[in-house]
Structure 1
Amino acid sequence: MSFIINAIGIIVVFAIAYVCSINRKSVDFISIALMLILQLVITWFMLSTEIGEGFIQLVAKFFLWLIDCSMSGINFVFGDLAPLDGPAPFFISVLMPIIFIVAFFDVLTYFGILPALINIVGFVLSKLTRTPRFESFFATQVMFLGNNEVLAITRKQLNEMDNKRLLTASMLGMSCVSVGVLGGYMQLIDPKYVLIAIPLNAVGALIITSLLNPYKVTKEDDVVYNPAKEENKRNFFDMLAESMLTGGRMALIIAAMLMGFTALITASDSILALFNKSLSLENIFAVIFYPFTFLMGVTPSQIFTVSQFMGEKLATNEFIAMGSLHPVLPKLSEHTEAVISTFLVSFCNFSTIGIILGSVKSLFDEEKTMLIAKNTWRLLLSGLLVSFLTAMVVGLFIR
């Protein structure tokens, strides 16, 4: 039964995107069908084949190894607060490893390993989906680097492009994650759902943006910007030091946001409770998301609870929602765990809109900034529809 419900849900997601499209006549349905098939193949491969399962386990072990390595450095500084063989506070066990993980992937970038991987994946994705090369490479980059970083490194080409392509790039950024936080995710939800959601989000973002903001790109414009190599390559240890400081700032910023948003939710719920004891932000969003949660095939008795996690993510961020979900996971059915876990793996929330708008304002002219500001609702809609699509596609394979 959940299979049929998820299939209907996918159709509903496509219908909403089509109705909200800027130019329905330009929608390339063949490309969209190819991308949906690609999503199904990826999910089948990762969940239903021994090779795919082995790949997930290998990558998960790799990230857990990174976390173990990071904990050795954390233990050196924090001592008994960061035991190597026992539980530690959330800030220590989940956020502090970000420092080493960010540095590790910056080293891979420095030596050209990560950019080479992005180029290969972006090239293959473009050929398989018939989407423009730049958009395919952008979707691949946001799988690894995050939204404002990719906007920054592609700003020269985006400045010369039609404004519609900047809007697509901004919408793609709503469904991204950053490799620096994947280790934190994997400590809160099943690592396999984290790893499945990442490629599905990238392809799903291309699907939804192709429906919401379709356009044709000429062969002359179908190019990818390659940053010029610096004559004097940056000093390795200077890069490493700045990378670690960046990771540290990221961990502190996330911690500050978690404390602030958690306190804000508590205060808001206390005020709302003055009007009605059952009134809270989680319950309000739960009512809004209820129909979509049903279309994700969630067990009927768990629909309201799952809707609360979805609303919590939208209002705050995925870390807070995952933290609330973590202790409840043993009580959820396998299907429900799969769909809510994959739904949460993205940066889609209200604060991300502010981050993207701020990045656009600092990188581009007033005309481009105004375009993105006028379409902030499309950014939010795009991110939500991608998350729903990812969850529903995964739900087809887990009953």
Structure 2
Amino acid sequence: MNYIIGIIGIIIFLLLAWLVSSDKKNVRWPYIGLMLVIQFLLAFLLLKTPWGITFVGWLAKGFQYLLGYAAEGVNFVFPNMVNLNDKGEPLNNFFTQVLLPITFISALIGILQYLKILPFIIKYLGLAISKINGMGKLESYNAVASAILGQSEVFISLKKQLPYIPKHRLYTLTASAMSTVSLSIVGAYFSMIKPEYVVTAIVLNLFGGFIIASIINPYRVTAEEENEVIMADETEKQSFFEMLGEYILDGFKVAIIVGAMLVGYIALIAMLNGIVDGITPGKMNFQDILGFIFAPLAFLTGISWDDAVRAGSIMATKLVSNEFVAMLDVQNIVKHKTGELSERAIGIVSVFLVSFANFSSIGIIAGAIKSLNDRQGDVVARFGLKLLYGATLVSFISATIAGFFL
């Protein structure tokens, strides 16, 4: 029964994208069908095959080592705040275990970027994907780069092309950025939800972003437009230590900003819960209301109706705040074994949460582009809600596909 509901859910999510399409007659469904097949295949490989499970385990173990090294630096600056268990792994402390290691991961990304390893991967992986999605090389490059560099940082590598990118292509570029996550915070996600859900979501969202953008914003890239694309790192040449200092500071800024947003959003949600609880004592809170609103959508991902309201509440929390706030809910359910959600529902919800699709991302992306090109930043701000709508559908489709193998 869950499989039938999942198939219906995918059809409905695609239909919801088609309803706001800018060109309903010219949607290229063969490419969309191909990418859906690839998504199912990748989800099966990552969640069900021994090779996929081994690969995810290897990644998780690698990040665990990195988090252990990060703990050394954190403990030096903040002594007695990092406690290690018998295996040398940091114990649970959100600020030291989840946020501050972002600084170290960001430094590693900077080193790989400086050594031209990441640009090589981004360029040729993007080139390969462009053969599958029917879009331009620029769109494919940007999608891969977004998943590594982040939703705002990626546009720095396109700053020379940015003034000449037309509105329809700019939508696809920003949609990719909102549908993915930054590699610098993947380690933080690994410490909050199961690594297999994180990796699966990242891979599925890459293609899901193309699927939804191809429906909402269909177009064909001409040969002339392709020839104008230069997929290269256009940032000014820096010395190694200039680069390293910049990436370390960027990572620390991200950690502090995420921490500040968590303080504000969690406090705001707590206040709204208190207000609703005061109006209906002991009956429901603000997150319960969100849960009832999102329950039908959660049900369409293949989650049983018994779990749909609680799952919908977590999904909505991510949309109105950010993925970290929602992941804390999932983490508490798993840690305290409350039984609020089944294991399968936890997996589906976890995949849904791994993206930057929330209201605050509209401002982040528009602001990042505006800092590079004022006119293009205004263009992005005008289609911000449509951008969020599409990115949320990407998360729903990825979660639904993952549900077939959980």
- For normalisation by structure 1, the TM-score amounts to 0.94
Q: Does 1:387 align with 2:395?
A: yes
Q: Quick one: which of 166, 189, 200 aligns to 1:196? A: 200
Match of 2:170 in 1: 166
Within 5 Å, give how 1:64-75 maps onto structure 2: 64-75=64-75
Which amino acid letter does the alignment assign opposite residue 395 of structure 1? Answer: G
Question: Does the aligned pair in 2 maintain the 1:193–1:338 contact within 8 Å?
Answer: yes
Q: Equivalents in 1 of 2:143, 2:399: separation in Å?
A: 18
Structure 1 contact 75–84 (Cα < 8 Å) conserved = no
**Root-mean-square deviation over aligned CA pairs:** 1.8
**Which residue pairs with 2:31 in the alignment?**
31
More displaced, 142-151 or 222-231? 222-231
Equivalent residue number for residue 364 of structure 1: 373
Inter-partner Cα distance in structure 2 for 1:286 and 1:175: 22
Contact 1:143–1:199, Cα closer than 8 Å, also in 2? no
Q: 2-side partners of 1:188 and 1:357: how far apart?
A: 28
TM superposition shift of 1:229: 6.3
Query: Could you tell me whether the CA contact under 8 Å between 1:147 and 1:356 is conserved in 2?
Result: yes
Q: 1:77: how far off?
A: 2.6
1:53 aligned onto 2:53: yes
Deviates more, 1:237-246 or 1:89-98: 237-246
Deviations 1:371-393 (A, max 9, x none): 33332221111111000000001
Change in CA separation of 1:49 and 1:96 when aligned onto 2, cut-off 3 Å: same
Partner Cα distance (2:221, 2:327) in 1: 39
The structure-2 alpha-carbon separation of the partners of 1:281 and 1:172, relative to structure 1 and needing over 3 Å to count, comes to farther
Q: In the TM superposition, what are the counterparts of 1:264-343 in structure 2 within 5 Å?
A: 264-277=268-281, 278-329=283-334, 330=337, 331=339, 332-343=341-352
Q: CA deviation at 1:170?
A: 1.7
CA distance in 2, matches of 1:34, 1:338: 25
Q: Deviations over 1:39-59 (max 9, x none)?
A: 111111112222222211111
Q: Which of 282-291 and 179-188 deviates more? A: 282-291
Deviations 1:215-267 (A, max 9, x none): 11111212432346678x41112211222121111111111111111111112
- Would you say the 8 A contact 2:157–2:233 is kept in 1? no
Say which SS state the counterpart of residue 346 (structure 1) adopts. Answer: coil
The answer to whether the 8 A contact 1:21-1:211 is kept is yes
Distance 1:191 1:374, change over 3 A: same
1:99 to 103, 106, 128: 103
Conservation of the 8 A alpha-carbon contact between 1:176 and 1:202: yes
Alpha-carbon distance in 1 for matches of 2:177, 2:139? 11
The structural deviation recorded for 1:279 is 4.9
- Write the distance in 2 (CA, Å) between the matches of 1:387 and 1:88: 28
Alignment correspondent of 2:78: 78
Q: What fraction of aligned residue pairs are identical, expressed as a percent?
A: 38
Question: What displacement does 1:137 show?
Answer: 1.1
Say if 1:6 and 1:258 are closer, same or farther in 2 by CA, change over 3 A: same
Between 124-133 and 100-109, the greater mean CA deviation after superposition: 124-133
Q: How does 1:96-245 map to 2 (within 5 A)?
A: 96-223=100-227, 224-227=229-232, 233-245=237-249
What code does the residue aligned with 2:342 have? S
Q: Partner of 2:17 in structure 1?
A: 17
Partners of 1:56 and 1:173 in 2: CA distance = 23
Q: C-alpha distance in 2, partners of 1:9/1:266?
A: 32
The 5-angstrom pairing of residues 372-383 of structure 1 reads 372-383=380-391
Moved more, 72-81 or 14-23: 72-81
Kept in 2, the 8 Å contact 1:349–1:380? The answer is: yes
Deviations, residues 97-148 of structure 1 (Å, cap 9, x unaligned): 1111110111111101111111222111111222221111111111111111
1: distance between equivalents of 2:198 and 2:40?
16
Give the 3-state SS of the residue equivalent to 1:274 in structure 2. Answer: helix
SS at match of 1:328: helix
Higher alpha-carbon deviation: 297-306 or 308-317: 297-306
Greater CA deviation, 66-75 or 221-230? 221-230
Cα deviation code 1:49-104 (max 9, x no counterpart): 22222211111111111111111222223232202225242101111111111101
- Choose the corresponding residue for 1:349, options 358, 366, 371: 358
Deviation at 1:370, TM superposition (A): 4.3
For 1:54, give the aligned amino acid. T
- CA separation in 2, counterparts of 1:371 and 1:78? 43
Structure 2 unpaired stretches of 5+ = none
Query: Residue type of the partner of 1:352?
Result: S
Q: Secondary structure at the match of 1:222?
A: helix
Distance 1:24 1:155 in 2: 31
Q: Secondary structure at the match of 1:64?
A: helix
> C-alpha offsets along residues 321-359 of structure 1, whole Å, 9 cap, x if unaligned?
101110213433232121101000011111001111222
Residue type at the aligned position of 2:194: D
Distance 1:91 1:141 in 2: 27
* TM-score, normalised relative to structure 2: 0.93
Shift in Å at residue 282 of structure 1? 1.3
